[in-house]
Amino acid sequence: MVILGEHSAQKPILSLAYVPSEAGPVSKKAPVKVYFIASATADIAPKFFDSHDARWKVRHSDGDYHPTNELFNKLQDIRIENKTLLEFTLYEKLSMWQFLPSHLWPSFFRVVQLIDVITQIVDDIVPRQICVFPADDIYWYGTTKAIGEANNIPIIIEAAEADRTYLNTVGNREKIRDVLARTGVLRFLRSGRWLFAHNRKKKGTSETNEEKRGKKSLFTSFARHWVPLPGDASRKYDEQFYPLLPALRKTGWLDFVGIDLPYASDAAKLDERRRHVESGIRWREFYSYEPQPGKSPTKAKNFFEKNWYVLKKDLVFLKNFKYKGVCLMAALERDLKQAFLNQLPGCTQMLATAERILDEEQPNAVLVSYEAGPYQRALTIQAQRKGILTVGLQHGMIFDNHYDYMHTRITNDVVADPYGFTVPKVTCVWGSMWKEVLTETGHYPKDTVVITGNWRYDHIIKIMGFMDVQIIKQEFKIAPGKSVVLILSSRSDCTRYIRECLMVLAKRPECQALIKLHPSQDAKPVRELLPQFGYSDDALVEGKLIEAIKIADLVISQTSTSALEAVLLERPLVLVNLNADISWMPPYINDGICLYVTKAAELAEAVEKGLKDEATRERLRKARKEFVYRYFFDLDGRASERVAQEIEKRLKER
């Protein structure tokens, strides 16, 4: 409770302001930061927001994904017209809700985080009135309004001209497009017809004339997996599927169709794959296949538009669509409307296209990476309906807070259960840790998840001993005698994080930095930052991650799969999480494999220990062995063989 001197008998006025953590798309999954001032009277309350004004206190959310995941699981059972949400979205014998959490999760997370922080402030201050200042965020006003209504507190919107519907601004339209692009729906809605025409013209030019023979596999991938081949930067390969090819060919798989999924707008990598195609592989873009005749988008659009207007007026739904007693419709109505009027009809067309792909290609098996993605899910559903084996391949880290994997109703048989979240018949994971997450914390049936090791490392393990460190250092323009510190980013507050790292390294003239950005990260802000610390664009690593790890004396990373690869390749690791008050942290921190930093002031000491303190380096070295087995199973170069054997086993069981 705030003590307000002689005015303490009267409840104060609470002023609230919010600045998103970093400019970027609505899809950002970063914690929120809310500023507030408690004022005894209106005349001393602030008239505008200034983050540099010391009177403004700040409170951060904890960044925990679990509450949002739990909210989505509860939504499955909310009733509309006496149907659960899963039943309410049933279209052509399939619950379409399973396509929406991936799209809706970022906005729901933002609102949940805002509610968590603001309700804490309201509980502490107990205000008589709340004054809300403008924010560059479409969820801000709806959330604060709902919190005021839940607590019976009047809400005053400051600077009324800023209270225009933010959805109508150019900047916000761009943010919405970013979300749609992330889920792939924008590519269908805006570019599907062009892509069909463009790729239909090109599809025959790069197809091999080799006669079809042996078993046929259809696999999905997307741009981020098309990377330089470790050990031979002059060649590129698909890191998820090409390592499997030798083992699959030995078991009779000789015909492969790669389906490029349009999560990114850059078609250059698809063109590269077509030009550098290996024998027996054909690459096609998802929308280069014409949807099945008779699958009208108008029918689906009319169906879901009708459902939307039923849902938004359903009193039972509105009563239960809450988080911590706060109604969510005011903040999330735009997103739900967009989902029903655009995303769901678009996903029916994904299903129609997936059906056409399978009818045209007639594969014996469908292999999908990131099986929770909408395109992969569409192919998985249609393949199961046609009796085709479906195989999931772990593409990255899956912890117990992963928003795409922690749904309560999971099924690997869409025919038997059309209401659940459809996953492949079998999913191959890297180690026991990932199986535990999916089957014990998550709801995957235990017999559907198999441990194979990471097939991407089969080739890497073999070539690591042949890599020449001095040649690689010359390629990266590392000055003689310099210690190499590799900085790896994820998608959270990336620019700030890299700035803090470079500030620490600037005080260590014996060190030279290399920076590898997350594939989805915009490089422009980082490129603008580099000259301030005496670096050129040469410091940015394009591809060649394994080579960069090989020459690194120390790796600094945010939470990412690349951080685990640094541990796998026996490099000391400093894991950095500068988002304040994060309640969740990767479980491997407790395994002792890294130094963990949560404050910028701690980073310099961690770098010193990681580079120079032999006791620390030895402790990290000892912790790595057990960790590698639990997370990556057996590094014997045979993970791809185990995947191929599992596919053969499942085929024989059919």
Task: Supply the CATH number for residue 436's domain.
Answer: 3.40.50
Q: What is the Cα–Cα distance from 619 to 204, expressed in whole angstroms? A: 56
Instruction: Please check whether residue 640 lies inside any domain of the structure.
Output: no
Q: Are residues 160 and 214 in the same domain?
A: no
Give counts: helices (H), strands (E), the chain.
23, 25
Q: Are residues 471 and 451 in the same domain?
A: no
Instruction: Please check whether residue 546 lies inside any domain of the structure.
Output: yes
Report the candidate in 330, 320, 314 with the shortest Cα–Cα distance to residue 80: 314
Q: What is the Cα–Cα distance from 165 to 331, expressed in whole angstroms? A: 12
Which residue range forms the structural domain that includes residue 536? 466-632
Instruction: Please check whether residue 526 lies inside any domain of the structure.
Output: yes
Which residue pairs from 267-276 have beta carbons closer than 8 angstroms and sit at least 24 positions apart in sequence? 269/223, 269/226, 270/223, 272/226, 272/236, 273/226, 273/236, 273/238, 274/202, 274/205, 274/206, 275/206, 276/235, 276/236
Q: Are residues 377 and 431 in the same domain?
A: yes
Higher pLDDT, 335 or 196: 335
Q: Which of 526-561 are b and which e, b meaning 16 or more Cβ less than 10 Å from the residue's Cβ?
A: beebbeeeebeeebebebbbbbbbbbbbbbbbbbbb
Residues 372-401 have a mean pLDDT of 95
How sure is the predictor about 28, in pLDDT bands with cuts at 50, 70 and 90?
low
Tokens of 257: 């169709």
Place of tokens 């999913």: 427
Q: 180-194, 340-354, 486-500, 551-565 — which is least confidently predicted?
A: 180-194
How sure is the predictor about 267, in pLDDT bands with cuts at 50, 70 and 90?
confident
Q: What SS3 class is residue 294?
A: coil
Report the candidate in 57, 53, 65 with the shortest Cα–Cα distance to residue 34: 57
Q: Which of 319, 335, 353 is where one domain is finished? A: 353
Residues 432-458 have a mean pLDDT of 95
Which residue pairs from 87-91 have beta carbons closer than 8 angstroms and sit at least 24 positions apart in sequence? 87/419, 88/307, 88/311, 89/304, 89/307, 89/344, 90/418, 90/419, 91/300, 91/303, 91/304, 91/344, 91/348
Q: How many residues are there in the chain?
A: 654
Q: By the 8 A CB rule, do 379 and 368 touch?
A: yes
Q: What is the Cα–Cα distance from 250 to 317, expressed in whole angstroms? A: 55
Place of tokens 């909408």: 374
Q: Are strands 83-84 and 79-80 parallel, antiparallel or unpaired?
A: antiparallel
Residue-level pLDDT at 199: 44
Q: Are residues 93 and 172 in the same domain?
A: yes
Q: 232-236, 553-557, 598-602 — which is least confidently predicted?
A: 232-236
Place of tokens 């290996």: 278
Q: Are residues 432 and 485 in the same domain?
A: no
Residue-level pLDDT at 327: 97
Residue-level pLDDT at 183: 46
How sure is the predictor about 11, in pLDDT bands with cuts at 50, 70 and 90?
very high
Judge whether residue 174 has pLDDT over 60: no
Distances 54 to 42, 48, 181, 228 between C-alpha atoms, Å: 19, 13, 39, 50
Residue-level pLDDT at 21: 63
Residue-level pLDDT at 277: 73
Judge whether residue 166 has pLDDT over 50: no
Higher pLDDT, 135 or 210: 135
Alpha helices in 507-653 (DSSP H): 524-529, 545-551, 561-568, 600-612, 614-632, 639-653
Residues 574-580 have a mean pLDDT of 83
Q: For 283-337, how does the pLDDT look when each residue is reduced to its tens digit (9 = 90+)?
A: 999 999 987 676 778 999 999 999 999 999 999 999 999 999 999 999 999 999 9
pTM score of the predicted model? 0.83
Determine what percent of the chain is predicted with pLDDT higher than 70: 87
Judge whether residue 29 has pLDDT over 80: no
Q: Are residues 377 and 441 in the same domain?
A: yes
How sure is the predictor about 198, in pLDDT bands with cuts at 50, 70 and 90?
very low
Task: Indicate the Cα dihedral angle 183, 187, 192, 198, nearest 10°.
Answer: -130
Q: DSSP characters for 507-540?
A: T-TTEEEEEE--TTS-SHHHHHHGGGGT--GGGB
Q: Are residues 421 and 310 in the same domain?
A: no
Specify the amino acid at residue 438: L
Judge whether residue 23 has pLDDT over 50: no
Q: Are residues 358 and 444 in the same domain?
A: yes
Domain count, the chain: 3
How sure is the predictor about 265, in pLDDT bands with cuts at 50, 70 and 90?
low
Q: What is the distance of C-alpha 315 from the center of its chain?
A: 34
Instruction: Please check whether residue 114 lies inside any domain of the structure.
Output: yes
Residue-level pLDDT at 331: 96
Q: For 98-146, how does the pLDDT look when each residue is reduced to its tens digit (9 = 90+)?
A: 999 989 999 999 999 999 999 999 999 999 999 999 988 889 999 999 9
Residue-level pLDDT at 541: 92
Q: Are residues 276 and 409 in the same domain?
A: yes
Please list the residues that pair with 60 across neighbouring strands.
33
Q: For 485-499, how does the pLDDT look when each residue is reduced to its tens digit (9 = 90+)?
A: 999 998 677 899 999
Instruction: Please check whether residue 648 lies inside any domain of the structure.
Output: no
Residue-level pLDDT at 626: 83
Q: Are residues 166 and 236 in the same domain?
A: no
Instruction: Please check whether residue 191 lies inside any domain of the structure.
Output: no
Report the candidate in 405, 355, 412, 347 with the shortest Cα–Cα distance to residue 379: 355
Rounded mean pLDDT of the chain?
A: 87
Q: Are residues 256 and 173 in the same domain?
A: no
Helix 600-612 × helix 494-506 angle, to 10°: 50
Instruction: Please check whether residue 650 lies inside any domain of the structure.
Output: no
Tokens of 496: 């700030």
Q: Which of 458, 481, 516 is where one domain is finished? A: 458
Instruction: Please check whether residue 28 lies inside any domain of the structure.
Output: yes
Judge whether residue 189 has pLDDT over 50: no
Q: Which of 423, 458, 493 is where one domain is finished? A: 458
Q: Are residues 305 and 236 in the same domain?
A: no
Q: Assign residue 618 the CATH number of its domain.
A: 3.40.50.2000
